[in-house]
Amino acid sequence: MWDKVEALNAVGQIRSFSEIVRPKGPLAVIADDPDNRVLECAVEVQADFIISGDKHLLNLKVYRGITIVRPSDFLKSF
Protein backbone atom coordinates (compact mmCIF):
# COMPACT_ATOMS: atom_id res chain seq x y z
CA MET A 1 0.00 0.00 0.00
CA TRP A 2 1.34 3.42 -0.92
CA ASP A 3 1.35 6.30 1.51
CA LYS A 4 -0.11 9.65 0.47
CA VAL A 5 3.19 11.07 -0.82
CA GLU A 6 3.89 8.01 -2.98
CA ALA A 7 0.36 8.09 -4.39
CA LEU A 8 0.57 11.81 -5.23
CA ASN A 9 3.96 11.24 -6.86
CA ALA A 10 2.55 8.43 -9.02
CA VAL A 11 -0.42 10.59 -10.06
CA GLY A 12 1.95 13.41 -10.98
CA GLN A 13 4.07 11.10 -13.09
CA ILE A 14 1.03 9.74 -14.93
CA ARG A 15 -0.27 13.26 -15.57
CA SER A 16 3.07 14.24 -17.11
CA PHE A 17 2.40 12.04 -20.15
CA SER A 18 -1.41 11.98 -20.13
CA GLU A 19 -4.01 13.96 -22.02
CA ILE A 20 -7.48 14.77 -20.71
CA VAL A 21 -10.12 13.71 -23.21
CA ARG A 22 -13.59 15.21 -23.32
CA PRO A 23 -15.75 13.12 -25.65
CA LYS A 24 -18.30 15.01 -27.74
CA GLY A 25 -21.19 12.68 -27.02
CA PRO A 26 -22.30 9.70 -24.98
CA LEU A 27 -22.33 6.13 -26.22
CA ALA A 28 -24.61 3.36 -25.00
CA VAL A 29 -22.98 0.27 -26.48
CA ILE A 30 -22.38 -1.86 -23.39
CA ALA A 31 -24.78 -2.56 -20.52
CA ASP A 32 -21.99 -1.79 -18.02
CA ASP A 33 -22.16 1.99 -18.40
CA PRO A 34 -18.64 2.89 -17.16
CA ASP A 35 -17.28 0.83 -20.05
CA ASN A 36 -19.07 3.18 -22.42
CA ARG A 37 -16.90 6.02 -21.08
CA VAL A 38 -13.81 4.06 -22.17
CA LEU A 39 -15.31 3.64 -25.65
CA GLU A 40 -16.18 7.35 -25.81
CA CYS A 41 -12.61 8.34 -25.05
CA ALA A 42 -11.13 5.82 -27.48
CA VAL A 43 -13.44 7.01 -30.28
CA GLU A 44 -12.67 10.65 -29.53
CA VAL A 45 -8.90 10.19 -29.89
CA GLN A 46 -9.25 7.73 -32.78
CA ALA A 47 -7.38 5.06 -30.83
CA ASP A 48 -6.03 1.99 -32.57
CA PHE A 49 -6.38 -0.19 -29.47
CA ILE A 50 -8.15 -0.46 -26.15
CA ILE A 51 -6.04 -2.58 -23.84
CA SER A 52 -8.18 -3.98 -21.06
CA GLY A 53 -8.97 -6.98 -18.95
CA ASP A 54 -12.65 -6.00 -18.78
CA LYS A 55 -14.84 -8.81 -20.09
CA HIS A 56 -17.54 -6.49 -21.44
CA LEU A 57 -15.05 -4.58 -23.56
CA LEU A 58 -13.19 -7.72 -24.62
CA ASN A 59 -16.44 -9.30 -25.83
CA LEU A 60 -16.73 -6.54 -28.43
CA LYS A 61 -13.31 -7.44 -29.91
CA VAL A 62 -13.49 -4.42 -32.26
CA TYR A 63 -15.50 -1.22 -32.04
CA ARG A 64 -15.44 1.36 -34.83
CA GLY A 65 -12.11 0.02 -36.03
CA ILE A 66 -10.60 0.02 -32.52
CA THR A 67 -9.20 -3.38 -31.58
CA ILE A 68 -9.88 -4.43 -27.99
CA VAL A 69 -7.34 -6.84 -26.49
CA ARG A 70 -5.99 -8.12 -23.19
CA PRO A 71 -2.67 -6.60 -22.04
CA SER A 72 -0.89 -9.94 -22.47
CA ASP A 73 -2.14 -10.33 -26.04
CA PHE A 74 -1.14 -6.77 -26.87
CA LEU A 75 2.39 -7.36 -25.57
CA LYS A 76 2.70 -10.63 -27.50
CA SER A 77 1.85 -8.84 -30.75
CA PHE A 78 4.75 -6.42 -30.32
pLDDT in tens, 46-66: 999 999 999 999 999 999 999
Q: What pLDDT shows up at residue 77?
A: 87
Question: 29: domain range?
Answer: 4-77
Prediction pTM value? 0.81
Kindly tell me if the per-residue pLDDT of 78 is higher than 90. Answer: no
At residue 1 the predicted structure's pLDDT band, cuts being 50, 70 and 90, is: confident
Counting the structural domains of the chain, the total is 1
Kindly tell me if the per-residue pLDDT of 36 is higher than 90. Answer: yes
- Report d(CA 72, CA 78) in Å as an integer: 10
b/e string for 27-55 if b means 16 or more Cβ within 10 A?
bebbeeeebbebbbbbbeeebeebebebe
In sequence order, what DSSP letters do the residues of 50-61 get, joined into one string?
A: EE---HHHHHH-
